[in-house]
Amino acid sequence: MTTPDFLPHHDGSPLHVSTQTPALGDLVRVRLRVPVDYPALRAVRTLSNPDHEPAWTEATELGTADGWTWWEAPIVVRNRRHGYRWLLVHESGRVEWLNQAGLSDLETRDADDFALIAHPAPPEWMYDAVMYQVFPDRFARSAAADRHPTPDWAIPATWDEPVDPVMPGRSQQFYGGDLDGIREHLDHLVGLGVNLLYLTPFFPAASNHRYDASSFTSVDPLLGGDEALIRLVEAAHERGIRVIGDLTTNHSGDRHEWFQAALGNPEAPEGEFYYFTDAAHTRYESWLGTPTLPKFNWASPELRRRFIEGPDSVVAQWLKPPFSLDGWRIDVANMTGRLGDVDLNAEVRQLTRQTMIETNPDTILIAEITNDASGDLTGDGWHGAMTYPSFARPLWAWLCEPTGEPYLTGEGQERTEPWFFGQPVGGIPRYDARQFVGAVTRFTAGIPWRVRLGNMQTLDSHDTARFATNAPAEVIPLAVGLSMTLPGMPVLFAGDEFGLVGADGEASRTPMPWGTESQPAAAARLDLYRQLIALRREHPALATGGLRWVHVDQSAVVFVRESAEESILVLASTTDADITLPAAALLGADRAEALFGDAALAAGADGSAGIRATGATFAAWVLPGVDVPEPGDSGDAPS
């Protein structure tokens, strides 16, 4: 395979959808592009399912531009998530369907439809965000950190001491990073070009990760207390950096004031906050059986009032001055409100978002959903997700080459089989580029375009091994480049820019190696991140432009992010590349300007484009924007 068939195209971007923020009852015009040399079509229609009843609209041909024939159809938004797909009827009688999973000659499922979302939209700044994730204990110590007493649960460690991967050090090794330490290094973030800081939990707890909160209403004094968070957010905002926090809506810690009030006390009002399984309130449900993380029962109206609903809730407290956070990432969002035959997840996420809108609508809400996220990403609450199967997992499978270096598990067992997102698959699977694209398509097909743009595009995180642990140095630019150029929110886990490694989630929580910035390896990696973050920030098409794959083979992918103003052509190849794109697949190659990478793009006399590169390569070019025929006033609205 050299080039995929040149096929009809539609996505959720502004080129193809007249508005990204429809309301119920609005008429939205959607557009389909068909290659001019595609077999003749007798009719083009859309199929929607408002109220789960089929509804059809007829598309009208708008005209032809740059090798495409454009069709436009009207759709009236009847539901908050209004799905639709395209029907193409050929003159020959052949029928094709187009949805987010691709083109099919078989009738397609509603689950993979394109979708218009009539829920309140996220703030515009989300689309321009490049996120930087910080694990506070390991980022930086201010001078004040030396005055903080060592807590009773902690195993003290010096900054240059290796991370202890074995329990109890795994969760109790304490380096003493604090919020003022982060504030003192904000200029590092400015230098990278990131504009969104994500802090893992800052609440008091009995672990280094702080996902076992003992309170949700104050900042851990070990991090500097409330005033340190206020100073950090103010300093970040002064530098154009927004800040989001991390909440555990699935559980609290067993030291939490609510849980302690209810434990062994059946009369306590907080007893309804948890799933106690005995009359004495001494046994209870917890996260994956971990007794230090008792699970919340979201059937409790009082829990909702205190935590997520209204101006006096925990959710609202931190979004208002003087703290002024810019949003939340919700830990274990996929399990929140779910236990056996109970499923209150939608109610929790919707109430949380409504409180955020009432408190400060210019905030974002991101869910941790580590596996297939499509069922919860309907646009009704979560703006996006920290999810791995739609990018990180297939990226690792394509680009990683494990060395079999031994490491220790939390139980102290030595392993050589590399960690792979907790899946018992015998290490990291091996994909080629085709499989990478197939996985990305499969796991984004059920997610509305607007929500997909809010998904965190992580190479790794505080819960995973570091990507660089198993990836050859020559593919790091491909991985970082793809995270910056595919649809979604790019994420940098603090330390990746220094080339840090770690065999699993806990081992990846390495103290930042401040003072090594000028060392050759670190300097080169820092420069790579700066350049690719700048690429993302300087080209709006990489934030909100459409996505069209123009070439996929075993070792290379080529795609274009398109808008009316500009298009960005991207190559990612693990080997030498010699690719020819037909004239209609890519227009404007003769006017391309190189943006990044050592690859050649040349326009042929027949209008084709040739891409040549040696060895593993990531490259990008800017091309002219897409010309869309002026829409007419044709087409009937559906009844």
Which single residue is written with the structure tokens 């990204």?
A: 20
Q: Which of 480, 497, 468 lies closest to 401 in space, CA to CA?
A: 468
In degrees and rounded to multiples of 5, residue 192 shows phi and psi of -70, -35
In degrees and rounded to multiples of 5, residue 530 shows phi and psi of -60, -45
Q: Counting Cβ atoms within 10 Å, is residue 107 exposed (0-12), middle (13-18) or buried (19+)?
A: exposed
Please give the single-letter amino acid code of residue 39: P
Contact 69, 34 (CB under 8 A): yes
Q: Which residues are registered as beta bridge partners of 245?
A: 328
Provide the token pair at 577: 């590349």
Contact 484, 492 (CB under 8 A): no
Provide the token pair at 452: 């997909």
Contact 31, 15 (CB under 8 A): yes
3-state SS of 490-559 is EEEECCHHHCCCCCCCCCCCCCCCCCCCCCHHHHHHHHHHHHHHHHHHHCCHHHHCEEEEEEECCCEEEE
Q: Beta 196-199 vs 242-248: how paired, if at all?
A: parallel
In degrees and rounded to multiples of 5, residue 84 shows phi and psi of -155, 160
Q: Which of 517, 523, 467, 454 lies closest to 493 in space, CA to CA?
A: 467
Cα separation values, 502 from 135, 390, 467, 517, Å: 14, 22, 8, 19
Q: Which residues are registered as beta bridge partners of 197?
A: 132, 243
The secondary structure element, H or E, covering residue 384 is strand 384-386
Report the SS3 class of residue 276: strand
- Rounded to whole angstroms, how far apart are CA atoms 121 and 545? 17
- Rounded to whole angstroms, how far apart are CA atoms 146 and 177? 10
- Report the catalytic residues: 331, 368
In degrees and rounded to multiples of 5, residue 611 shows phi and psi of -120, 125
- Rounded to whole angstroms, how far apart are CA atoms 438 and 435? 5
**Residue 183 CA to its chain's centroid (Å):** 25
- Rounded to whole angstroms, how far apart are CA atoms 538 and 530? 12
